[in-house]
Structure 1
């Protein structure tokens, strides 16, 4: 930090010899103070003002009477707090900001079928005109892997696969395990289920 405090003014002086004066504003001057601020007060997350500035922007958007800005902000804040508090006492069927409908639920009737995998049981309907095309081998593998890894009924087999990988390769890292899940799990799962079915038939 001490080195940064000493070198940043020198670097800015060198930049002033290259760039026109219009290039330099408060942002170029700011690095002079940053090392000192990092050294003395400590981590920035305990003292920065950005969350409060974002919240003030949220309140300023609610200003309707520009002659009474402070009053408008106070009223907007009170209305928001009161409505949030009251929303906890509404009937369960009333949708509020804190009780939004699911992402793909638009209120329409959804056709459901028994026996579907959990990943295909979310509410939703087709949108727009249907189009068909062939997937490349890479796209097919990615879609297959995504469905398997995000299906609740397959999680027990994911655990078995990971245990086998760790047992066969004791020093393997978590990143390497994730790579094997993405690249090898779909084929392993296909063979594993085929062997289980074959055992049942025998």
Structure 2
């Protein structure tokens, strides 16, 4: 809905999918889960079909700026005066920082945590490793959590989809072979092996 051009057919399909998804969620979650924010999704496609793309009428930037102005309030009895004084102070500092040779918030280098934004061309899939976050903390992941994070990144990457399909075909052939030999039923824990075997399969076939 935030794209520059939207199609009515896409909004109608999205409306049907939202209705179906909420119906499935109602069978899982308690009624207290469905607050006004969850219900808002029902009206967004219809609103987009009537009013057009969201970026022409989005109020998020205005609301963020209003929230910034509210942060200037330190005297509850003089709200307007506090906002005016804080706004004037902020604008004065911004104006003066243009004439400073030292580092300011206008020319401060972005904190990327020492990460290089571009990687060499030998990387087959990922050509950008992203940016570091301010206030980051180091977290040591155990082997299971690292594998889950690794699978999450790969499973949500479009270029890896052909390899996922190839791995699924290989896994299903193995499953059918086991069924023919032992006559066992396919259970959910058994099918969870699809994710568990991906790591070894990928290292065997993709690292050649």
- Establish whether TM, by shorter chain, passes 0.5: no
TM-score normalised to the size of structure 2?
Answer: 0.41
TM-score normalised to the size of structure 1?
Answer: 0.42
Structure with greater Cα Rg:
1
